Amino acid sequence: MNIIPVINCPDRACVEKTIAIARNFLGSDDWVHIDVTDGVFSKHATFSDPAAWNDMEIPFNFEVHLMVSHPEDYIAPWLAAEVNRIIVHVESITPESSRDILKACSEKGVKVMLALNPNTPIRELEPYINSFSEFLVLSVSPGPGGQEFNSSVVDKIKILKHEGVIIEVDGGMNAETALLVKNAGADIIASGSYIFGNVDPKKAYEELKNI
């Protein structure tokens, strides 16, 4: 499996500590997933200063998961920070804003992934299914790490798989749930607490990769 460790941090000190841990088991071709919440789309708020991320010179590819209202306002700063992939939510875009986001990212060679909350019906993706080739199925509510996996998303993964798209699953990922979503058709798993909350983060990461 393609495993992407999740960084969900309230401040810069936490980010730097987590990156230092990730250096022990990630290479320059690997990825990290940055949770960005604004306290509006989700009551939980994370450290989300693109300029600071750029200053830290993260030695990995990284995707930013914009769990925010009006994600179009966040695109330019993250593109300036040389993000590799941007994830926006179907619940916070419109067909018009999605076109602007896709255009801005395409001009910089940055991929865009469309995310879906666990309680959002999959039919909400229909207006966008031909515009996006990568989708993130969020299996917990937007917010803090360590939440319990919502098994109802398995059916969504199976439905999306029939569209021939890339599927990432984020939230509540451990050895058991990762196998479940892999069998349903997931291509990528994003995991935070299971990796960084483990006494041996490298071992936890390798365990997920070997599923």
Q: How far, CA to CA in Å, does 78 sit from each of 41, 83, 86, 154, 208?
A: 18, 6, 8, 31, 28
**Dist. CA 103–CA 109, nearest whole Å:** 10
**Dist. CA 36–CA 38, nearest whole Å:** 7
pLDDT at position 41 is: 86
Over range 59-63, report the average pLDDT. Answer: 93
pLDDT at position 207 is: 97
pLDDT at position 48 is: 82
Q: How far, CA to CA in Å, does 63 sit from each of 9, 74, 159, 202?
A: 15, 13, 24, 20
The set of residues, in sequence order, having a beta carbon less than 8 Å from that of 184 and lying 6+ positions away, is 154, 157, 158, 161
- Which of 47-51, 66-70, 114-118 is predicted with the least confidence, judged by mean pLDDT? 47-51
On the question of pLDDT at 45 being above 90, the answer is no
Q: Which domain holds residue 97?
A: 2-209
Angle between helices 175-184 and 201-209 (to 10 degrees): 20
Residue 100 designated active-site:
no
**Dist. CA 50–CA 65, nearest whole Å:** 12
107-129: per-residue pLDDT in tens? 999 999 999 999 999 999 999 99
Provide the token pair at 153.
């998303």
Banded pLDDT at 28 (limits 50, 70, 90): very high
Local structure of 58: helix, strand or coil: coil
Q: 3-state DSSP helix/strand/coil percent for the chain, to nearest 5?
A: 40, 20, 40
Provide the token pair at 106.
């395409």
The set of residues, in sequence order, having a beta carbon less than 8 Å from that of 165 and lying 6+ positions away, is 129, 132, 133, 134, 135
pLDDT at position 36 is: 94
**Dist. CA 117–CA 137, nearest whole Å:** 7
On the question of pLDDT at 134 being above 80, the answer is yes
Residue 29 designated active-site:
no
Banded pLDDT at 184 (limits 50, 70, 90): very high
On the question of pLDDT at 146 being above 90, the answer is no
Exposed e or buried b per residue across 163-201, where buried means at least 16 C-beta atoms within 10 angstroms of its C-beta? eebbbbbbbbbbeebbebbbebbbbbbbbbbbbbeeeeb
On the question of pLDDT at 147 being above 80, the answer is no
Number of domains into which the chain is organized: 1
Provide the token pair at 33.
């997933």
Over range 1-21, report the average pLDDT. Answer: 94
Marked catalytic residue, from 30, 170, 187, 200: 170
pLDDT at position 169 is: 97
Marked catalytic residue, from 35, 38, 73, 200: 35
- Give me the percent of the chain exceeding a pLDDT of 70: 98
pLDDT at position 104 is: 98
- Looking at per-residue pLDDT, the higher value among 38 and 161 belongs to 161
Banded pLDDT at 98 (limits 50, 70, 90): very high
Whichever domain contains 66, its CATH number is: 3.20.20.70
Banded pLDDT at 144 (limits 50, 70, 90): low
